[in-house]
């Protein structure tokens, strides 16, 4: 040992370096199994290969991340070697992104959504869909019966702007004129945009009212379908029931399906709040809200399609048979998609929740 100016023994520098190296090696050996396990999980997630990760490893991801973060904090406090610090810093950053960062990019989310995520969420709320469908059919019947017994109900259910000349007292020829198509698509863009805006408002309102335990949603569905029932009676009474059904089916099979799903999504939240089970009301509402929000995101797509069909296809296809063909094809497509699209295997989302 060397003697410094104050007469104290100075530790040999090589001995200090050796001690620090040994301390760093022991620190690494005690923890590197968890670090390597975390790194393997992170690499699989970064390469978008969650199928290669065991369920146990995926569930341990948050725990392994916290252990690595704790190791990094200790390494900084004890001034371990630069290589260990750099490795841990990189590993913790990458793991943080997988645990807390954005789950997927826009295109990855959209692919996951369209290739099964949306349809799976729709199937998950099947009971609410059945309830909403029953209410909508009942509302249509109520509208028909009310107007059939007293025509004055028609003016209470159908606003003048919505009626557009379709009202009791109009002749069959006048009613048939409102169902005719046109060969000119000019101006239909504005019409389609208006219909999309209107129908989107109905769907959003039906969804939003679900937070009041679903009761206002049910009333809204009854009212909107009573309006439809009133118009069905009007055209059927004039002998134009089939023509009106064909005119409506072009966009109606998509639009009414979207309204059905919106109402069901709202009721799903309301029903979860009214009957939370073992969860708290807020927890039940949050869980149902995530599922219902995915259904609503799909409803926006359906309404865009319905607006285009209503603004273009319905106007440009003049025959009842052609309109039924379009509407029937769309109904078949939606039922097939929602019933048979495979459920995707959620990767990080299930582990994080």
Q: What is the pLDDT of residues 145-164, one digit of tens each?
A: 999 999 999 999 988 767 77
Q: Average pLDDT for residues 259-281, to the nearest whole number?
A: 91
H/E run at residue 2: strand 2-3
pTM of the model: 0.68
Lowest mean pLDDT among 11-25, 106-120, 222-236, 329-343: 11-25
- Which DSSP symbol is given to 209? G
Between 82 and 119, name the one with better pLDDT: 119
Distance between CA atoms of residues 104 and 119, nearest Å: 19
Q: What is the pLDDT of residues 309-353, one digit of tens each?
A: 887 787 788 899 999 999 999 999 999 999 999 887 654 333 333
Contact between residue 272 and residue 127 where contact means Cβ atoms under 8 Å apart: no
Domain boundaries, the chain: 14-101, 107-344
Contact between residue 174 and residue 184 where contact means Cβ atoms under 8 Å apart: no
3-class secondary-structure state, position 159: coil
pLDDT at residue 57 above 50? yes
Residues ≥6 apart with Cβ < 8 Å to 125: 264, 265, 268, 291, 292, 295
Residues ≥6 apart with Cβ < 8 Å to 264: 125, 128, 129, 131, 132, 295
Distance between CA atoms of residues 260 and 198, nearest Å: 15
Band of pLDDT at residue 229, cut at 50, 70 and 90: very high
Distances (CA, A) of 47 to 58, 105, 165: 15, 13, 60
pLDDT at residue 21 above 90? no
Nearest in space to 149 (alpha carbons), one of 71, 229, 81, 34: 229
| Beta bridge mates, 10 | 2
């Amino acid at each position: 040992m060397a003697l410094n100016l104050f007469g104290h023994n100075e530790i040999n520098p090589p001995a200090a370096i050796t001690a620090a190296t040994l301390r760093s090696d022991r620190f690494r050996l005690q923890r590197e199994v968890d670090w390597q396990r975390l790194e393997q999980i992170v690499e699989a997630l970064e390469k978008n290969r969650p199928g290669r990760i065991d369920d146990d490893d995926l569930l341990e991801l948050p725990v392994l991340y916290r252990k690595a973060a704790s190791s990094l904090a200790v390494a900084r406090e004890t001034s371990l070697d630069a290589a260990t610090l750099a490795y841990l810093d990189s590993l913790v950053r990458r793991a943080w992104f997988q645990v807390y960062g954005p789950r997927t990019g826009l295109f990855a989310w959209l692919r996951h959504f369209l290739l099964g995520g949306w349809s799976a969420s729709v199937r998950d709320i099947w009971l609410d869909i059945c309830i909403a469908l029953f209410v909508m059919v009942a509302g249509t019947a109520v509208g028909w019966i009310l107007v059939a017994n007293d025509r004055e109900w028609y003016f209470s259910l159908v606003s003048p702007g919505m009626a557009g000349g379709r009202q009791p007292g109009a002749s069959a020829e006048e009613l048939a004129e409102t169902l005719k198509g046109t060969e000119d698509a000019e101006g239909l863009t504005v019409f389609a945009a208006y219909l999309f805006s209107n129908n989107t408002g109905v769907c959003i309102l039906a969804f939003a009212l679900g937070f009041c335990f679903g009761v206002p949603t049910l009333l809204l569905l009854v009212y909107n379908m009573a309006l439809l029932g009133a118009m069905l009676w009007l055209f059927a009474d004039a002998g134009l029931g089939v023509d009106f059904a064909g005119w409506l089916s072009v966009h109606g099979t998509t639009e009414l399906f979207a309204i059905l799903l919106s109402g069901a999504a709202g009721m799903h939240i309301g029903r979860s709040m009214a009957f939370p089970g073992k969860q708290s009301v807020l927890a039940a509402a949050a869980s149902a809200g995530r599922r219902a929000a995915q259904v609503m995101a799909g409803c926006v797509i359906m309404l865009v399609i319905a607006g285009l069909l209503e603004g273009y296809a319905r106007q440009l296809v003049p025959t009842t048979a052609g309109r039924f063909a379009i509407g029937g094809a769309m109904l078949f497509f939606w039922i097939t998609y929602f019933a048979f699209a495979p459920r995707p295997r959620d990767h990080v989302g299930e582990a994080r929740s």
